[in-house]
Chain A
């Protein structure tokens, strides 16, 4: 038994709890993609709503999807949902105002 306890490296009395690494100490390690995409999505949806540009609204939808895919699980879902709703409302409003199909840029 003593031999077992010698070879067994585990120590119950030496347990330290997990501390999530703080973002203040290493801001460079954090991935900024979801925040940037969120911001871009909001800007494009506002442009789509105000300037009645359909392509802006569609890009806003894509941005909010990308932001959701890259988001951390600790992030608030309310923020994600609000950006989704904003981009979808931008698309719907631009089609209600002008039901013509979108023309390609070429």
Chain B
């Protein structure tokens, strides 16, 4: 009984503590608790001073560290009370820790196990974005691009200069020969008077033109220096795969009386194949061509000669051809040169193209791309050959038999052409007639004076009647003939 009586206050004490804590927790929630403190004013203040410590203790482990700082602040402000406060705090702390462990286990189960591992796992280190880094290394692609552009510009300047030097070297070596043969050397067509400019026309960074005129036997000579595109880096790289060489193309246009009717072509196999496909006059002349085959001296040439007389042309130039075979790409003489075949949309052209008596020469510059200005001197004999052939062609004349044969062949080719285009020409004629009629009708309609209108209409009717009569007569005649 006595032990029971002793235990009872202890129990009451134990129970009171959680109640007080609970009370303090509810203090700010319920106004009813305030009535308890009104009896003793000081008790209120004591409670107030204790409140922060109790509050901080009452907060569970989530903020053990922050709780220490307000407690420290309280200790700094109230120096007298700190020791008490501290003692109280320590006691309370010890007491609370006991309580704490109990409550932690019940209320915060698994809390510790959750907090630390998950916090560490979610920590990801991100890289600083490249453009925010203070380094140029991340922009290596851009640096590559700019370097490529600079390389292109450098190559452009170097290539342009080289082509210009080659052109000038060619002109310097050939100037004397040209000036002794032509009255006009160098013309761009823009000046009012026909005076020699004495320099090349630059069409491109890799194409230079020179027009020479004022000579017997020919109208004029157009020389085109077609160099490689040294100014374009892409072309330079392509040429490393497939080497090509610079070319000099010479086109001599002759007067009508300076050349007889023949077509003659000499060149390398590849060039001949290309010419035969592309050039209109060679295509049409295909039937008349004679392939002589390979001459033992000219193993890589194919000859396309349309008339036997042309052999004399070949023989007179053979020593040039043999000596400079590596530099000659093709030689093409034609009295009906009209340029390459033009592919038209309507199928075939309605009219035969205009022709001109022309001598065409294509020479390769030695060096296969790695040309130096000194190599241009080696083309001088070929220019001599050109001048020689201009004079020679004028003297070449077909005999009577050859001429008749040539004319017959030409007439045959023209007839074939006309037959092929017959239907198209008919259509074209029909459309023209309809257009005429329409134009006349419009004129009649637009006529204001009714008298004139009537007269014009009558005239048109009469014309139509005449045409019909003519047609009928023709039909009758055909019928009579048939009979």
- Is B378 engaged at the interface, CB distance under 8 Å to the other chain? no
**B215 cross-chain contacts in A, Cβ below 8 A:** 9-11, 14
Bound: A71/B206 CA distance, A: 10
A interface, over-half SS: loop
A46 within 8 A of B: no
**Considering only CB atoms, which chain A residue lies closest to B229 in the complex?**
A70
Chain B residues near A78 (CB-CB < 8 A): none
The answer to whether A25 and B339 have CB atoms under 8 Å apart is yes
Q: Nearest-CB distance from B64 to chain A (Å)?
A: 45
Q: Are B339 and A15 in contact (CB under 8 A)?
A: no
Question: Cβ of B340: which chain A residues have Cβ within 8 Å of it?
Answer: 26, 28-29
Which residues of B are found within 8 Å of A104, using beta-carbon distances?
141
The listed residue (A17, A25, A102) touching B194 by CB distance below 8 A is A17
Q: B189, A20: Cβ atoms under 8 Å?
A: yes
Q: Is A73 within 8 A of B202, CB to CB? A: yes
Query: Once the chains are docked, how many angstroms separate the CA of A58 from the CA of B342?
Result: 38
A100 at the interface (CB under 8 A from B): yes
B278 closest partner in A (C-beta): A28
Q: Are A15 and B211 in contact (CB under 8 A)?
A: no
What residues of chain B lie closer than 8 Å to A29, measured between beta carbons? Answer: 340
Asked whether A70 lies within 8 Å of B232 as measured between CB atoms, the reply is yes
Chain B residues with Cβ below 8 Å from A27 are: 342
**Residues A16 and B220 in contact, CB atoms below 8 Å apart:** yes
Q: Do A58 and B145 touch across chains, with their CB atoms under 8 A apart?
A: yes
Q: Is A66 within 8 A of B342, CB to CB?
A: no
Contact with A along B219-237 (1 / 0, CB 8 A): 1101000000101101000
A44 at interface by CB-CB < 8 Å: no
- Residues on A with C-beta less than 8 A from B138 are 101
CA gap between A71 and B205 in the complex, in Å: 8
Q: Does B51 count as interface, using CB distance less than 8 angstroms?
A: no
B318 at the interface (CB under 8 A from A): no
Which of B141, B149, B202, B214 is A65 in contact with, Cβ under 8 Å?
B149
Is there an interface contact between B216 and A14, defined as CB atoms closer than 8 Å? yes
Q: Does B156 contact A (CB under 8 A)?
A: yes
Residues of B within 8 A of A10 (CB): 180-183, 214-215
Residues from chain A with Cβ under 8 Å of B142 in the complex: 101-102
Check if B330 is an interface residue, CB within 8 A of chain A: no
Q: B residues within 8 A CB of A66?
A: 152, 232, 234
Closest chain B residue, CB of each to CB of A71:
B204
Given contact pairs A101-B130, A101-B139, A61 touches B149 in the complex (Cβ within 8 A): yes
For the complex, would chain B's binding face be called helix, strand, loop or mixed by DSSP majority?
A: mixed
Chain A residues with Cβ below 8 Å from B129 are: 100
* A69 close to B156 (CB less than 8 A): yes
Whether the pair B204, A73 counts as a contact (CB closer than 8 A) is yes
Contacts of A103 in B (CB 8 A): 141
For chain B, residues 110 to 160, give those with C-beta under 8 angstroms from any C-beta of chain A. Answer: 129-131, 138-142, 145, 148-149, 152-153, 156
Contact of A18 (CB < 8 Å), options: B211, B231, B339, B391: B211
Residues of B within 8 Å of A99, CB to CB, are 131
CB-based contact B204/A72 at 8 Å: yes
Question: How far is A8 from B183 in the complex, measured between Cα atoms in Å?
Answer: 10
Q: Is the CB of A73 within 8 A of B183?
A: no
Chain B nearest CB from A79 CB (Å) reads 16
Q: Mark out the residues of chain B between 178 and 209 whose CB falls within 8 Å of any chain A CB in the assembled complex.
A: 180-184, 187-189, 194, 202-205
Given contacts A65-B152, A70-B232, A101-B131, contact A26 B214 (CB under 8 A): no
Whether, in the assembled complex, B358 has its beta carbon less than 8 Å from a beta carbon of chain A, the answer is no
Chain B residues with CB below 8 A from A19, complex form: 189
Is B213 within 8 A of A26, CB to CB?
no
Q: List chain B residues, Cβ under 8 A from A71.
A: 204
**CB of A52, distance to nearest CB on chain B (Å):** 15
Q: Within residues 301 to 349 of chain B, which ones have a CB less than 8 A from any CB in chain A?
A: 339-340, 342
B341–chain A nearest beta-carbon distance, Å:
9
Complex contacts, B213 vs chain A, CB 8 Å: 14-18
One digit per residue, 1 when the CB lies within 8 angstroms of any chain B CB and 0 when it does not, for chain A 58-97 equals: 1001100110011111100000000000000000000000
Q: How far is the CB of A14 from chain B (nearest CB, A)?
A: 5
Residue on A nearest B182 in the bound complex, by CB:
A10
Tell me which residues across on chain B come within 8 A of A101, comparing CB atoms.
130-131, 138-142
Residues of A within 8 A of B183 (CB): 10-12, 14-15
A1-42, CB < 8 A from B: 8-12, 14-20, 25-29
Q: Of B140, B184, B216, B231, which contacts A9 at CB under 8 A?
A: B216
Known: A15-B194, A71-B204. 17 other contacts (CB 8 A): A10-B183, A11-B215, A11-B216, A14-B213, A14-B216, A14-B219, A17-B187, A18-B188, A18-B213, A28-B340, A65-B152, A70-B229, A73-B202, A101-B142, A102-B141, A102-B142, A103-B141
Nearest 10 A/B pairs, CB to CB: A18-B211, A18-B189, A15-B214, A18-B187, A102-B141, A99-B131, A10-B183, A101-B139, A69-B232, A100-B131
21 contacting pairs across A/B (C-beta < 8 A): A8-B180, A9-B391, A10-B182, A11-B216, A15-B183, A15-B194, A16-B220, A17-B194, A17-B213, A18-B188, A26-B339, A26-B340, A58-B145, A66-B152, A66-B232, A66-B234, A69-B231, A73-B203, A99-B131, A101-B131, A101-B138
